[in-house]
């Protein structure tokens, strides 16, 4: 009998998924508008990394949306403001201190809702369905990760 609380038996990705970041920046890029949510601790960490105060970071790179804070996007492209091109290569300026939302890509609930959702995400992310294998338990652990800064070495590759 299937236990309603046992997501492993009901999840379509129970046998795991493949993902290997190809550093293309597709997860950070438009064309649609989106939100890159940041928490208060992450704001402090990003500000310190950029050698500015949290107030300066908020004024220059963040905006409020209701009770939450999001990183702003380039007005024309809708790319994350921290996705920049250097020597012909797109990359994240704050990669080592990027927010949790960025760290857990592509294992977002919306992408894991169905095989179809996963394959839709793969259309803009060349790393989905290739490379490293992630087992079900590891995916669940990644999805539940919240306070990456408490153990940063463990999450640097993600």
Q: Kindly tell me if the per-residue pLDDT of 23 is higher than 90.
A: no
Predicted TM-score of the model (pTM) = 0.81
Give the containing element (helix H, strand E) for 31: none
pLDDT band at 89, cuts 50/70/90? confident
Q: Is there a domain that residue 89 lies in?
A: yes
Check residue 79 and give its pLDDT.
Answer: 92
Q: At residue 146, does pLDDT exceed 50?
A: yes
List, for residues 106-138, the tens digit of each pLDDT value. 999 999 999 999 999 999 899 999 999 999 999
Instruction: Specify if 78 maps to a domain.
Output: yes
Q: Is the pLDDT of residue 16 over 60?
A: yes
Query: DSSP for 8-22?
Result: HHH-TTTT-EEE---
**How far from 137 is each of 49, 110, 131, CA to CA, in Å?**
32, 18, 18
Mean pLDDT of the chain: 87
Tally of domains in the chain: 1
Residue numbers of the domain that contains 147: 20-151
Share of the chain above pLDDT 70, in %: 86
Any domain includes 158 = no
- On whether residue 132 sits in a domain, the answer given is yes
Any domain includes 9: no
In a domain, 3, yes or no: no
Residue located via tokens 């379509």: 12
Tell me if 52 is assigned to some domain.
yes
């Amino acid at each position: 009998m299937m236990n309603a609380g046992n997501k492993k038996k009901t999840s379509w990705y129970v046998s795991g998924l493949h993902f290997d970041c190809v550093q293309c920046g597709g997860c950070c890029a438009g064309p649609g508008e989106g939100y890159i949510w940041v928490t208060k601790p992450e704001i402090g960490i990003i500000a310190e990394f950029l050698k500015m105060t949290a107030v300066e970071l908020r004024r220059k790179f963040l905006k409020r949306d209701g009770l939450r804070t999001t990183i702003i996007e380039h007005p024309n492209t809708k790319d994350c403001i921290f996705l920049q091109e250097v020597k012909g290569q797109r990359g994240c300026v704050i990669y080592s201190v990027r927010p949790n939302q960025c760290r857990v890509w592509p294992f977002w609930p919306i992408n894991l809702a169905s095989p179809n959702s996963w394959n839709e995400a793969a259309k803009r992310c060349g790393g989905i369905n290739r490379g490293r294998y992630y087992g079900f338990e590891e995916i669940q652990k990644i999805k539940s990760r919240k306070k990456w800064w408490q153990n940063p070495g463990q999450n640097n590759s993600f």
